[in-house]
Amino acid sequence: MITSAVNPKVKQVVLWRDKAKERRQDKVFLAEGPKMFGEAPTPWIREVYLTQTALEKLGQTPGGEEKLKQVRLELVSEEVMNKMADTQTPQGIVTVLRCPNHEPDELLRKENGLFLVLEGLQDPGNLGTIMRTSEGAGVTAVIMDKKTVDIYNPKTIRATMGSIYRVPFVIVEDLQEILQKMRKNGIRSFAAHLSGTTYYTGESFREPTAFLIGNEGNGLSRELSEMADSFIKIPMEGKLESLNAAVAAALLVYEAKRQRSI
């Protein structure tokens, strides 16, 4: 059992937790809690740190004991877990996972795809919620630029509630290039934009579709907006000009889901 907070393994986990550069360099991310461990694809799991109490509880859950046998475990004291965990009330388990690798070109060839394209989102909670909503609405993939908040930020991981394991996503240098590829693949792109003249409920999303969602404060850049096939807007009362990015994304993808289920 690791009982020292200055143990090299503990210090490395803390670095992965706090530093996006360290996560990118080693191609790993962290997930806390028994739910995130239980839902994690076993091939993604690099190692697991947990307390004796958490080990005993997991061993009593359906499938928990079998999964524990398939991964590398490191027992740590409660004090060390408090040091490693990002939450104020740790659940006794931190899983270190390998970052998935999804190929954009392969995703764009999916039959009748539904995509979210994110430009410069900054709130970890928004990104995590978008991932969770994407799973519920059957989104094919979420595509984001490098200016978007790190999807492997612990706050983002928590907000996904496990959807990060099931919704393909890619981080790209150039969203304009992706939109060009989408057009070649017959995917029509819609920008949620203040200049939109058509309500989103007045468009058809039954064919391959991509929704463009911009930064919480500034919206979509002019360059990316101009590449969209169509501008759409969301009806609003009062003095509001825009909605929260995650809320806007949810309205759009669920409208697509509704149309496709009719």
C-alpha to C-alpha distance for 255 and 37, rounded to whole angstroms: 32
Mean pLDDT of the chain: 95
| pLDDT given at position 227 | 95
| pLDDT given at position 63 | 85
One domain for residues 25 and 141: no
Q: Tens digit of pLDDT for each residue in 93-147?
A: 999 999 999 999 999 999 999 999 999 999 999 999 999 999 999 999 999 999 9
One domain for residues 39 and 75: yes
Q: Predicted confidence band at 3 (pLDDT cuts at 50, 70, 90)?
A: very high
The total of structural domains in the chain comes to: 2
One domain for residues 73 and 139: no
One domain for residues 87 and 119: no
CATH number at residue 203: 3.40.1280.10
Asked if residue 2 is part of any domain, the answer here is: no
Q: Calculate what percentage of the chain has a pLDDT beyond 90.
A: 89
Contacts of 202 (CB under 8 A, 6+ apart): none
| pLDDT given at position 214 | 94
Helix (H) or strand (E) holding 235: none
In one letter, which amino acid is 202? G
Last residue of a domain, one of 81, 98, 115: 98
Asked if residue 35 is part of any domain, the answer here is: yes
Asked if residue 112 is part of any domain, the answer here is: yes
| pLDDT given at position 192 | 85
Flag the least confident range among 79-83, 166-170, 216-220.
216-220
Q: Which domain holds residue 174?
A: 104-261
Per DSSP (E only), the strands in 167-255 are: 169-172, 188-192, 198-199, 209-213, 230-233
Contact 80, 10 (CB under 8 A): yes
Asked if residue 1 is part of any domain, the answer here is: no
pTM over 0.85: yes
One domain for residues 77 and 116: no
One domain for residues 175 and 223: yes
Give the DSSP letter string of 78-130: HHHHHHH-SSSS--SEEEEEEPP---HHHHHTSTT-EEEEE-S---HHHHHHH
Q: Tens digit of pLDDT for each residue in 16-37?
A: 999 999 999 999 999 999 999 9
One domain for residues 122 and 86: no
One domain for residues 54 and 69: yes
8 has a pLDDT exceeding 90 = yes
One domain for residues 219 and 127: yes
